[in-house]
Amino acid sequence: MTMGRFIALEGGEGVGKSTQGRLLADALRARGLDVVTTREPGGTAGAEAIRMMLLSTEGEGWGARAEALLFAAARADHVDKLIRPAVERGAWVVCDRFVDSSRAYQGGGGGLCDGDVLDLHRIGSEGLLPDLTLLLTVDPAVSAQRLALRDGDVADRIGGRGADYHARVAAAFRAFADAEPTRFGVIDAEGAPDEVHGRIMAALAGILA
């Protein structure tokens, strides 16, 4: 049996990852592929429970290190129970966020060093990386507008952090994509959803061939 593929969608808040994940999954299914859509933090019962702890605005919140450990623990469960088995049976996994979010948010935003975040990932998930990571980028003014439409005044604990934090996250994502141009596809996510989807399908041409 041939192995499936693992595709992650990444980017800051309000860049349209969930819409694009759905359009991508539909397009892959239309080609007859077995597709699993999932998200982080979450995707399994255990990881969804950790998600609640991470994103709830109740309580005093987590320090950067505890936060990184919790994301890594959620990911370990997700990889072990859902992502690896799906890829091994030949499915295509489309995941809304993966380890590059930890590198960008807990690393770039929160100040942890990238090597530490990657060490947690090595311990938790044997360092599994996507076959392709699509980084969706938009002008910060555009994402702020999309977020206001989506969230109104109710942001989660991490989404609600300040503009400086999110600027560091965006810069970190860019730096990772520049450092690993074959694993990343940088997608201009401005414009109508079907235009952005067209760019994503073009970026996938290599692995669909």
In the numeric block, the tokens 């940088």 are attached to 186
155-184 positions binding ligand TYD, by CB under 6 A? 156, 158-159
Nearer to ligand TYD, 1 or 129 (CB): 129
CA distance 183 to 129: 9
Count of all residues that appear for the chain in the document: 209
The two tokens of residue 54 are 């991470």
Whole-Å CA distances, 167 to 63, 123, 206:
20, 29, 31
CA torsion sign for 119, 121, 124, 125 is negative
Among 78, 97, 168, 199, binds ligand TYD (CB under 6 A): 97
Q: Could you say whether residue 105 binds ligand TYD (CB under 6 A)?
A: yes
Per residue, the 3-state secondary structure of 178-198, as one string, reads HHCCCCEEEEECCCCHHHHHH
Nearer to ligand TYD, 112 or 186 (CB): 112
32-71 positions binding ligand TYD, by CB under 6 A? 39-41, 55, 71
Point out which span in 26-34, 98-106, 127-135, 177-185 binds ligand TYD (CB under 6 A).
98-106
Point out which span in 29-37, 82-90, 100-108, 186-194 binds ligand TYD (CB under 6 A).
100-108
Residues 6+ apart with CB under 8 A from 150: 14
Nearer to ligand TYD, 84 or 161 (CB): 161
Size of the site for ligand TYD (CB under 6 A): 16
Q: Could you say whether residue 137 binds ligand TYD (CB under 6 A)?
A: no
Taking CB positions, which residue lies at the least distance from ligand TYD? 105
Helix-helix angle 193-203:17-30, to 10 degrees = 60
Contact residues: ligand TYD, CB under 6 A: 13, 17, 39-41, 55, 71, 96-97, 101-102, 105-106, 156, 158-159
